[in-house]
Structure 1
């Protein structure tokens, strides 16, 4: 697939040879250097294309099919085709959390996008369950995003992404820049929910330890090209590219 980010940037060859077949309950992680295209890839998989949202990812060649949907053909009025089946968590929770809505209202947004006449009482119960699943107290629900810590906001964003019980979760550096202890807590909660619900996950990360903790398969992206793909130990124990070798060394040091 060839794509470019919103704003007419230069096209990038990014996912040649990458299979997006992820089994229910499985996690595929993509790790790569800055500017390698991994975040743009995550947005494309989540359906944020130039045909469906302003300044979305423009797919200029190749193919991308997610859950049987040809992402290239999504239009402005088709944005919910994937949104109802794919949960998306960006690095900055502010991209999906409305500062003028309470936590509870933010988490409930996907429910009312799916069905405008959705019962508010039923929504309240579902929201409370989603908040609890991320180990946030119910006292969080009436608060506004700015009243929470960054780690709490990220957990709210994850709760929002999972409120519709999606088939696929796309998490783009969802814990980047967060204290290591808090990050570990969030990852533990996410893994717990995935085990219980069995959704597939596509994780973008720059932390090899995070990748080892969450995923079964790894794709290494370097300068727009896949330079390693397979089981995590398979990729790191037999590196065929200098960038993968560096990742393997980091992994051994932190083991």
Structure 2
């Protein structure tokens, strides 16, 4: 279904159930089970949870990553409920409509830094999404946009002509972030955006997300273990366990509430780190 030009929410998950199809010898795997979540227009929400909780699957579904290229792992399949992104329902969506939706959505996968095209320079990598849309786009304008994105993630212009193998893991992650945001998406689905990035540079990523939100027409779902990032950028956080939402609210309220063992454990771990640091 095609929705209105001004959707009521950037994301709506309603009793969403998602499975990975059976592949011999593995049986079908239920990754999400009854997830309901709303991300308002211009709202940034965080997702937390232990490994295997369904965080990356939720990110893939909301990013429209529902088609499996040949020879790769299976794509998630919506088997119950619904996920609506920028006003379009994803369950059973046709490929042409999915392409229209994802035109406005950027996805930073969990392993984004390792997916950078190895034979291309940083400049070419960041420009990829632009040239995929329009091969004849003005090269001077592309260069300016690439330089602007490099500055936003605090990378020097000297890396423009470098290849991924010449960069540190944190630098590659920042290149991946710049690439994912170069087109100015309406919705950013980011899975561990600060992974591998030095703590001294993470503030720049926080500031970038904050600026994008202040500029308007920008919503985001941030899957992250980085509590500092979530505190500084998100309105609310959803905690997942075994494919279900077990907590939803501002991050500090969730940690203080002790409503679930995972959240209590997370709060205790943070308190221990704070005590050791003091």
Rounded to whole Å, the distance in 1 between the matches of 2:69 and 2:83 is 15
Q: Quick check: 1:49–1:72 contact (8 Å CA) kept in 2?
A: no
Gaps of 5+ in 2: 1-15
> Rg: which structure is higher?
2
Q: 2:205 aligns with which of 170, 179, 187?
A: 187
Structure 1-normalised TM-score? 0.86
Does residue 234 (structure 1) correspond to residue 253 (structure 2)? The answer is yes
Q: Quick check: 2:213–2:219 contact (8 Å CA) kept in 1?
A: no
Q: How do 1:52-71 and structure 2 match up within 5 A?
A: 55-71=74-90
Q: Quick check: 1:103–1:143 contact (8 Å CA) kept in 2?
A: yes
Task: Tell me what 2:64 maps to.
Answer: 47
**Mean Cα deviation higher: 31-40 or 129-138:** 129-138
Rounded to whole Å, the distance in 2 between the matches of 1:4 and 1:141 is 40
How far does residue 35 in structure 1 lie from its aligned partner after superposition? 0.6
TM-aligned CA distance change 1:187 to 1:15, over 3 Å: farther
Rounded to whole Å, the distance in 1 between the matches of 2:200 and 2:21 is 34
Q: Quick check: 1:11–1:60 contact (8 Å CA) kept in 2?
A: no
1:79-137 Cα offsets, whole Å, 9 max, x none, are 53233211111222245421121111111111122223322222122111111211111
Task: Tell me what 1:38 maps to.
Answer: 55
TM-aligned CA distance change 1:69 to 1:114, over 3 Å: farther
Q: 1:23 aligns with which of 4, 24, 41?
A: 41
Gaps of 5+ in 1: none
Alignment RMSD: 2.6
Task: Tell me what 1:91 maps to.
Answer: 110
Structure 2-normalised TM-score? 0.80
Task: Tell me what 2:124 maps to.
Answer: 105
Task: Tell me what 1:2 maps to.
Answer: 17
Higher relative contact order (CA 8 A, sep 6+): 1
Rounded to whole Å, the distance in 1 between the matches of 2:105 and 2:95 is 17
Task: Tell me what 2:29 maps to.
Answer: 11
How far does residue 75 in structure 1 lie from its aligned partner after superposition? 4.3
Task: Tell me what 1:121 maps to.
Answer: 140
TM-aligned CA distance change 1:146 to 1:212, over 3 Å: same
Q: Quick check: 1:51–1:58 contact (8 Å CA) kept in 2?
A: no
Q: Quick check: 1:209–1:254 contact (8 Å CA) kept in 2?
A: no
Q: Quick check: 1:31–1:207 contact (8 Å CA) kept in 2?
A: no
SS in 2 for 1:64: strand
How far does residue 151 in structure 1 lie from its aligned partner after superposition? 0.8
How far does residue 190 in structure 1 lie from its aligned partner after superposition? 3.2
- Whose strand proportion is higher, 1 or 2? 2
TM-aligned CA distance change 1:83 to 1:105, over 3 Å: farther
Task: Tell me what 2:9 maps to.
Answer: none
Rounded to whole Å, the distance in 1 between the matches of 2:136 and 2:241 is 46
1:13-49 Cα offsets, whole Å, 9 max, x none, are 526353232331x320010011111011111111111
SS in 2 for 1:213: helix
Q: 2:166 aligns with which of 142, 147, 164?
A: 147
